Each structure stands twice: as C-alpha cells, then as structure tokens.
Amino acid sequence: MLTRKIIKIDEEKCDGCGLCVPACAEGAIQIIDGKARLVSEVYCDGLGACLGECPQDAIIIEEREAEMFDPEAVQRHLSDRTIGHRMEEAQPPTESDSLACKCPGTISQMLHPDRAAAPSDTDAAKTEKEAMTSLLGNWPVQIHLVPVRAPYFQGARLLIAADCVPFAFADFHRRFLDGRTLLIGCPKLDDVDLYRSKLAQIFLENDIQTVDVVYMEVPCCFGLVHLVRQALDESRRKISVTFIKVGIRGDICEIANLQD
C-alpha cells in the first residue's frame, strides 16, 4: 500500500446528519447505523470536498497507508448504486425514513388532501371549503430535509419554490401546488452548493416527470434558477422545466420553458 491523503471520520463527533454524503461525488461515504462511514478506501480521492459540509468537524484529512484511489471502481460503484436504487420499489414511510436525528417532523410522508366538499354544502360553502383546503401532498418539503429517494419522488411533477413565494402569491396552492411534489429553499440564505448536489441526486435517482421552478422577482432569488439548471447538468437528466417569476405584489411577471 502507498501512503496518501484520505479522510478520517471521528465517530464520537459524528451525529449522523448526512450532510457529507451528497458532498462526496464519489459515493465514498454512507450513513450506516446512524454514523457517517467510509465505505471503501478506493472510492476516496482524499481531496476533502466533504470537510466543509460537516457541522460537527467530524471529518479530517489524514496521511496514512491506504488503498489507491480507483476512478474506475468509483464509476462502477455509482452505476451499481443508481441501478439498485431504481429497482427498489417505493415503500410506505416508516420512522426509519426520518433523518438520523430521529425528529418525528422529518419522517417522509405522502399526504392525500381531501378536496371533496360534503354533499349538503351549498355552492358558496363548497367554494370556501375548496379555498381553505391544503393541496400539500408530501412532507417534509425543505430541500435540506427531504430524503433523496422519498416515495413521493417516483413519477413526480416536481415544484421547486423559493420560500417567499407562498407569502407573495395568494393562490399558491391551487395555481402551483395542486398535483405536485413540493420542495422549498432560499437561494440567498441557504447552502446553494448543498442544494445543487441534493437536487442533482434527486433528478438522477428518481423518475421525475417535470419540474416547475417558482421564484421571486428580486435579483437574489434568481439564484434558484441557476442552481436548478446546474443540478440538471450535473445529473445529465433530460427533464422539461418551467421557470415562473413572481412579483412582490403577487403577480406572475414571466414564464420561461427549458424543454428536455
């Protein structure tokens, strides 16, 4: 064996948050038994792209004897993992679908909004009830929290929204959300590199049908458009995308299509 740089994970510090997993393009890190672990030395290039993603500083680069980095093995590993993921059938959500923190609020759930009004309702009552009915079909919705292979991604019409949009656009549920799987995030305040990598994995490992991106007219919000385009390029998937710009007064300013 040669002496080279390679990552070392401190299991005492690691809380299993999983942020390092999408940061490793080679798939060298996986969460196993609630801890991040290096699955094979040959998959780790020792460049440390995962270091900056660990909030617990549990990952360092050390120099020691290790198996040589093997790019061909990495490609086989990534290919096998993708094929394996696509062959798995979506299972009903369980507690194990939550993040490693085991917070109940992060458990993946497919919601089924009941839009039907009672037979005895008047037309006015039906209209009011429909206006008040949530059309949210999945949970969680924050990009940081969603599992990459959540069951609601299979065959999904994906809606990626800047998190200010629902406050500015009064009819958000009926105009944008109906029948779609929702993801939200802020391109100004959140970690866009993490989001780009996470979205690229979601595009790659699921059968996404279409993507609608809804963002605000303010300049910083256009970053959501950039990171979705970059994620698509990174995933090399051909998906029809519609970009919708919403004004701060709640109007639709612009609609643009990026066809597959």
Domain definitions of the chain by residue range: 2-87, 96-258
Task: Give the count of beta carbons closer than 10 Å to the beta carbon of residue 132.
Answer: 8
Count of residues making up the chain: 260
Q: Mean pLDDT throughout 232-246?
A: 94
Which of the 8 DSSP states describes residue 186?
-
pLDDT reading at 96 higher than 50: no
Domain 2-87 has CATH 1.20.120.1200: no
pLDDT at 40: 93
Render pLDDT for 36-89 as a digit per residue (tens, 0 to 9): 999 999 999 998 888 877 888 999 999 999 999 998 898 888 877 655 544 444
Q: How far is CA 232 from CA 73, 108, 122, 198, in A?
A: 24, 24, 47, 11
User: Can you give the pLDDT at residue 92?
Assistant: 47
Range 117-127 average pLDDT: 54
Q: Over 90: is that where the pLDDT of 113 sits?
A: no
**Residue 158: pLDDT above 60?**
yes
Higher pLDDT, 29 or 113: 29
Instruction: Tell me how far CA of residue 27 lies from CA of 22, 30, 44, 82, 184, in angstroms.
Output: 8, 7, 8, 11, 25
Report d(CA 260, CA 258) in Å as an integer.
7
Mean pLDDT score across all residues of the chain? 83
- The class of domain 96-258 in CATH terms is alpha beta
Cα–Cα distance between 126 and 139 in angstroms, integer? 26
What pLDDT score was predicted for residue 106?
53
Asked if 136 contacts 182 with a C-beta cutoff of 8 angstroms, the reply is: yes
What pLDDT, in 10s, does the model give residues 126-153? 555 555 789 999 999 999 888 898 889 9
Residue ranges with strand state E in 41-84: 59-66
